[in-house]
Amino acid sequence: MNTTFAQFIDQHVDAVVDDFEVFARRSGPAAEHLASEGLRDHAKVMLQAVAADMATVQTAASQQVKAEGNAANATYSRVMATARQHAQHRFSQGFTLPQMLSEYRALRASVIRRWTAQLDVADAGLLAELTRFGEAIDEGLTEAIAWYSKRLEESRNLLIGVLAHDLRSPLGAVRMSADYLLRTDRLHDNDLRAASRIVSSSSRMARYISDLLDFSQTLLGASLPITRAPIDLVPLCADVVDELRSAHPAATIEAELPDRMAGSWDAARLSQLVSNLIANAVIHGEAGWPVLVRLSAAGTSASIEVHNRGEPIAPGSLPTLFQPLMHSRPEPQRMRGSSGLGLGLYIAREIALAHGGTLVVRSETEAGTTFTACLPAA
């Protein structure tokens, strides 16, 4: 057989990429809604770059440099550039590190399997050992990186939790001092405005810190704790709406509430859920249009809808909408009142899940954006 490995890759690249797409489709929830192009994206370019690199003459010295990660030739740089682009794309789509690594394993296994199958004269046993060696190395690499990245993530999340916890005390002192100043009768207009800004800013910071504490707790493997008790959702929603009206006096927040909606829920957590959804609607909704909060029965569950008009959510953002840190914007582009971290929607969904419920979104140009939390009553 006169075909080189590089030529074989070029000749069979489309078939290999077809195999890759099938594997990538099953890699996890993040891949379920991706189009075919999004799954195949860089696989073909990567294989062609690998083939081009293999077609070049490689000395023992250049092989050693490549093994040490210091190669500088153009074709190998193309492999690295494509790998970075692929990693960026998978990160933006919410893939985990082990899922992305498994794609490389599948890609290499597909090429080796097709290559060994078409060899005319070869020791089948040795080729099988070659394949198994590559698989074993890949398994070890995947497991090592998964373990290492998990420990790094746990350390980072623990740091976030400790920092957020420790910030509450000095922030509480700032808030109490500002409240004391507001209760005195010795402040002039400018002083009153300054003290009021301190109170409102410290309240917003306290909400961010609370979100960070909840965020770090869920990332460390624990679901949000809830304490169920018989409550009526109607006054709860009404109180939250009144609170958000005071916090956003320029916004119009309307509520459609029944006379009663009884069930067993965690009142504090559901107040947090409704507050996060309304705040999100106020921040991202179109000025001049009201935010509508609707509470209704859905079988044995309660349905809480929060609707706003405005620019619809981009379809590409929907798969990762409830994942934090995926849509952070630079400070100049950030909506007023938003931390830019995406924690509000993440925590709202975690609260719904902790109650055995769901939180979904529907966003269209004409109909607007509606978040719907469905919460079992018991």
Q: What is the pLDDT of residue 342?
A: 66
Bridge partners, residue 364, by sequence: 368
Distance, in Å, from the CA atom of 161 to the CA atom of 207, rounded to the nearest integer, reads: 14
Bridge partners, residue 263, by sequence: 231
Q: What is the pLDDT of residue 331?
A: 44
Tokens describing residue 90: 């998978």
Q: Which value, in Å, is the radius of gyration of the alpha carbons in the chain?
A: 27
Position 339: which residue type? Answer: S
Backbone angles phi, psi at 250, to 5 degrees: -80, -15
Q: What is the pLDDT of residue 292?
A: 96
State whether residue 125 is helix, strand or coil: helix
Q: Mind listing the pLDDT tens digit of every residue in the chain (378 residues)?
A: 567 778 888 888 898 888 888 888 887 777 777 788 877 877 888 888 878 877 777 677 766 665 565 555 555 567 777 877 888 788 777 777 778 888 888 888 888 888 888 777 667 765 666 665 555 556 556 665 776 577 666 666 666 666 666 676 777 787 788 887 878 777 777 887 788 778 777 776 777 777 777 776 676 566 678 889 999 999 999 999 998 888 788 899 999 999 999 999 999 889 989 999 999 999 889 888 999 999 999 888 999 999 999 889 888 788 888 877 665 444 443 344 445 556 789 889 989 998 999 999 999 988 899 999 999 987
Bridge partners, residue 296, by sequence: 303
**At a CB cut-off of 8 Å and minimum separation 6, what does 334 contact?**
340
- All domains of the chain in start order, with CATH: 5-122 (no CATH), 229-376 (3.30.565.10)
Distance, in Å, from the CA atom of 303 to the CA atom of 327, rounded to the nearest integer, reads: 27
Work out whether the CA dihedral 181, 187, 188, 191 comes out positive or negative.
Answer: negative
Q: What is the pLDDT of residue 103?
A: 83
Q: Which residue has the tokens 């030739």?
A: 73
Q: What is the pLDDT of residue 329?
A: 45
**At a CB cut-off of 8 Å and minimum separation 6, what does 149 contact?**
97
User: Nearest 10 degrees: CA dihedral of 255, 260, 263, 268?
Assistant: 40
Closest CA to 377 of 296, 284, 285, 292: 296
User: How do residues 204-225 score in pLDDT, each as one tens digit?
Assistant: 677 777 777 777 667 656 667 8
- Supply the pTM of this predicted model: 0.57
Angle at 169 between CA 168 and CA 172, to 5 degrees: 80
Kindly tell me the burial class for residue 285, based on how many C-beta atoms sit within 10 Å of its own C-beta (0-12, 13-18, 19 or more). Answer: buried
Tokens describing residue 140: 């070890």
* Bridging pattern class, strands 229-232 and 368-376: unpaired
Kindly tell me the burial class for residue 63, based on how many C-beta atoms sit within 10 Å of its own C-beta (0-12, 13-18, 19 or more). Answer: exposed
Q: What is the pLDDT of residue 77?
A: 67
Bridge partners, residue 365, by sequence: none
**At a CB cut-off of 8 Å and minimum separation 6, what does 296 contact?**
258, 302, 303, 305
**At a CB cut-off of 8 Å and minimum separation 6, what does 55 contact?**
4, 6, 7
Position 224: which residue type? Answer: L
> How would you write 158-212 as a 3-class SS string?
HHHHHHHHHHHHHHHHHHHHHHHHHHCCCCCHHHHHHHHHHHHHHHHHHHHHHHH
Q: How far is CA 351 from CA 346, 354, 357, 358, in A?
A: 9, 5, 8, 9
The rounded Cα 323 to chain-centroid distance in angstroms is 2
